[in-house]
Amino acid sequence: MKNFRILLITLMTATLPAASFAFDFKQGGMCYNINDDGKTVTFTYETPILIALDAPAPSEVGYVGHIVIPETVKHNGTTYKVTAIDRYAFSANSELTSVMIPASVKTIGEGAFMQCFRLKQVTLPPALTEIPPYAFAESGINSITIPSKVKRIAPYAFNNTSLKEVSIPNSVTSIGSAAFSACRWMEKMNMGKNVKEIGEAAFSICTSLKSIKLPASLLKIGKTAFYECSSIEEITIPAAVTEIGDGALRSCHALTSISVENGNTKYDSRNGCNAIVETSTSTIVAACKNSTIPPTVTTIGNEAFYGCRGMTSIHIPESVTKIGDQAFFYCTDLKSVEIPNSVVEIQERAFCGCDSLESVVIGNSVKSIGYGAFLHDDHIKSVTLGSAITSIKEWAFKGLDAATSITSMIQDVTRVEMGKNVFDEINTKACTLYVPRGTAQHYKVSPQWKQFTNIIEK
List the beta bridge partners of residue 391. 368, 417
| pLDDT tier at 158, thresholds 50, 70, 90 | very high
Flag whether pLDDT at 92 surpasses 50: yes
Q: How many CB atoms lie within 10 A of CB 393?
A: 19
* CA dihedral of residues 290, 295, 301, 304 (deg, nearest 10): 0
Contact 72, 51 (CB under 8 A): no
pLDDT of 104 reads 98
pLDDT of 47 reads 72
Lowest mean pLDDT among 44-58, 227-241, 311-325: 44-58
Q: Which residues contact 364 (CB under 8 A, 6 or more apart)?
A: 341, 386, 387, 388, 409
pLDDT of 360 reads 95
Mapping DSSP onto H, E and C, the string for the chain reads: CHHHHHHHHHHHHCCCCCCCCCCCEEECCEEEEECCCCCEEEEECCCCCCCCCCCCCCHHHCCCEEEECCCEEEECCEEEEEEEECCCCCCCCCCEEEEECCCCCCEECCCCCCCCCCCCEEECCCCCCEECCCCCCCCCCCCCCCCCCCCEECCCCCCCCCCCEEECCCCCCEECCCCCCCCCCCCEEECCCCCCEECCCCCCCCCCCCEECCCCCCCEECCCCCCCCCCCCEEEECCCCCEECCCCCCCCCCCCEEEECCCCCCEECHHHCCCEEECCCCEEEECCCCCCCCCCCCEECCCCCCCCCCCCECCCCCCCCEECCCCCCCCCCCCEEEECCCCCEECCCCCCCCCCCCEEEECCCCCEECCCCCCCCCCCCEEEECCCCCEECCCCCCCCCCCCEEEECCCCHHHCEECCCCCCCCCCCCCEEEECCCCHHHHCCCCCHHHCCCEEEC
pLDDT of 363 reads 95
Flag whether pLDDT at 400 surpasses 70: yes
* CA dihedral of residues 12, 17, 19, 21 (deg, nearest 10): -120
Find the angle CA(323)-CA(325)-CA(329) to the nearest 5 degrees.
Answer: 95
Closest by Cα among 269, 340, 332 to 305: 332
Flag whether pLDDT at 5 surpasses 90: no
Query: What mean pLDDT is predicted for residues 338-347?
Result: 96
Query: What mean pLDDT is predicted for residues 198-203?
Result: 98
Residue type, 216: A
pLDDT of 22 reads 73
pLDDT digit string (tens) for 345-385? 999 999 999 999 999 999 999 999 999 999 999 999 999 99
Contact 219, 243 (CB under 8 A): yes
Task: State CA 419 to chain mean position distance.
Answer: 29
Q: Which domains does the chain have, with CATH numbers?
A: 1-137 (3.80.10.10), 335-458 (3.80.10.10)
- Maximum Cα–Cα distance for the chain, whole Å? 101
- Alpha-carbon span 455 to 458, nearest angstrom: 10
- Alpha-carbon span 287 to 169, nearest angstrom: 30
Residue type, 209: L
Contact 235, 255 (CB under 8 A): yes
| pLDDT tier at 54, thresholds 50, 70, 90 | very low
For 385, list phi and psi in degrees, rounded to 5.
-105, 125
pLDDT digit string (tens) for 309-325? 999 999 999 999 999 99
**Percentage of residues in the chain having pLDDT higher than 70:** 92
What is the overall mean pLDDT for the chain?
92
Whole-structure pTM value:
0.89
Closest by Cα among 206, 212, 205, 276 to 243: 276
| pLDDT tier at 62, thresholds 50, 70, 90 | low
Contact 332, 308 (CB under 8 A): no
- Alpha-carbon span 422 to 341, nearest angstrom: 22
- Alpha-carbon span 331 to 311, nearest angstrom: 7
Residue type, 180: F
pLDDT of 49 reads 62
Contact 241, 263 (CB under 8 A): no
Q: Which residues contact 38 (CB under 8 A, 6 or more apart)?
A: none
Flag whether pLDDT at 1 surpasses 60: no
